[in-house]
């Protein structure tokens, strides 16, 4: 009986991140995977009807210099269509087509001289990792005064369909297939879900969309080496590429909060540069309901201007 009550409470309290186009005033409820309900801490944290919002002091390498800015990581569970690979408008009404994902919305804002950069990445990783081991979708957009870029990856059986659009002539409009492999852009979600499931040693991985677009790299699966370092209640998952190293720092204890990251790579012209970020503030909030002028003071909780 207690287990049944727990399931009812978690299902009834579960909310999704933003209201659907067809129903702006109501929230639908995704189905909670039974495999996770038995884990009280997981259900209490991720199915409480709130998102985790964390702000970071960002030091972004660009044009051979370090530019100060702000990054925000937003983690939230939501219902997802397996066939359409989009968030469901009417959760609980599509049967087997529905699954629950942990969504990461990752934003970066920084200025380069007179003009600003605004970048955003979204990654959708299934909660039921053993049944759905690969992330089905990742998107990325970047806007600055020279132009804008948009990329989207959708999993189709043994490869990802990549659609990418850029104001650069040589990148232009691209539609190619990328070999299915671990995505750098899903590692953040997998740390939150189960960091022990991340591969160690020699791996095949698709580098992140932020990096490949800023450095104008081709998107393809490459060989790398991954390691996990533990110290006290902190850990680092480190990915070493031939000319780049990414370290993501996080708490060992649940909910495995991301503490920051450091990225060392060869920039344009071959000069080695470092991008890094450190955690500033974290809050749990149903931010999709806090969209009035009187809610703007909540940005102070994250030290956001």
The pLDDT assigned to 170 comes to 82
Query: Hunting for tokens 């104001």 — which residue is that?
Result: 167
The pLDDT assigned to 121 comes to 98
Nearest one of 243, 238, 199, 204 to 220, comparing CA atoms: 204
pLDDT at residue 24 tops 60: no
The pLDDT assigned to 26 comes to 37
pLDDT at residue 156 tops 80: yes
Other CB atoms within 10 Å distance of the CB of residue 125 = 26
The pLDDT assigned to 3 comes to 39
The pLDDT assigned to 9 comes to 36
Full-prediction pTM beyond 0.95? Answer: no
Work out the pLDDT band at 19, boundaries 50, 70, 90.
Answer: low
Work out the pLDDT band at 18, boundaries 50, 70, 90.
Answer: low
pLDDT at residue 32 tops 60: no
Question: Are 188 and 208 spatial neighbours (Cβ–Cβ below 8 Å)?
Answer: no
The mean pLDDT value for 241-256 works out to 96
Work out the pLDDT band at 40, boundaries 50, 70, 90.
Answer: low
Lowest mean pLDDT among 195-204, 213-222, 281-290: 213-222
Better-predicted residue by pLDDT, 23 or 46: 46
Domain region containing 216: 2-302
The pLDDT assigned to 5 comes to 37
Q: What is the sign of the dihedral through the CA atoms of 47, 48, 49 and 50? A: negative
pLDDT at residue 115 tops 60: yes
Half-sphere exposure of 162 (CA within 13 A, CB side): 25
Name the strand (E) or helix (H) holding 44.
helix 40-46
Domain count, the chain: 1
pLDDT at residue 253 tops 50: yes
Work out the pLDDT band at 169, boundaries 50, 70, 90.
Answer: confident
Lowest mean pLDDT among 21-25, 179-183, 272-276: 21-25
Residue 45 CB contacts under 8 Å (≥ 6 apart), including other chains = 254, 255
d(C-alpha 227, C-alpha 236), whole Å: 8
Half-sphere exposure of 197 (CA within 13 A, CB side): 16
Name the strand (E) or helix (H) holding 230.
strand 222-231
């Amino acid at each position: 009986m207690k287990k049944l009550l727990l399931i009812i409470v978690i299902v009834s309290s579960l909310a999704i991140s933003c209201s659907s186009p067809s129903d702006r005033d109501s929230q639908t409820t995704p189905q909670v995977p039974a495999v996770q309900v038995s884990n009280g801490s997981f259900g209490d944290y991720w199915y409480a009807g709130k998102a985790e919002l964390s702000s970071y002091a960002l030091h972004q390498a660009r044009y051979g210099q370090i530019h100060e800015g702000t990054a925000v990581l937003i983690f939230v569970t939501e219902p997802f269509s397996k066939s359409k690979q989009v968030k469901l408008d009417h959760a609980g009404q599509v049967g087997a087509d529905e699954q629950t994902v942990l969504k990461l919305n990752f934003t970066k804002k920084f200025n380069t001289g007179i003009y600003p950069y605004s970048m955003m990445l979204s990654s959708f990783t299934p909660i039921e990792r053993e049944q759905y081991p690969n992330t089905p979708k990742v998107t990325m957009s970047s806007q600055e005064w020279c132009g804008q870029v948009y990329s989207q990856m959708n999993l189709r059986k043994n490869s990802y369909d990549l659609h990418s659009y850029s104001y650069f002539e040589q990148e232009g409009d691209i539609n190619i297939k990328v070999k299915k492999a671990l995505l750098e852009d899903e590692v953040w979600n997998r740390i939150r879900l189960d960091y022990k499931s991340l591969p160690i040693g020699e791996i095949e991985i698709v580098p992140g969309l932020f990096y490949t677009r800023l450095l104008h790299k081709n998107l393809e699966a490459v060989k790398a080496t991954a390691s996990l370092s533990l110290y006290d209640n902190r850990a680092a998952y480190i990915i070493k590429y031939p000319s780049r190293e990414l370290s993501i720092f996080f708490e060992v204890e649940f909910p495995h909060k991301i503490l920051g990251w450091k990225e060392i790579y060869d920039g344009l012209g071959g000069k080695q540069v470092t991008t890094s970020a450190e955690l500033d503030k974290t809050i749990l909030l149903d931010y999709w309901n806090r969209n009035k002028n009187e809610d703007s003071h909540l940005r102070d909780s994250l030290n956001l201007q």
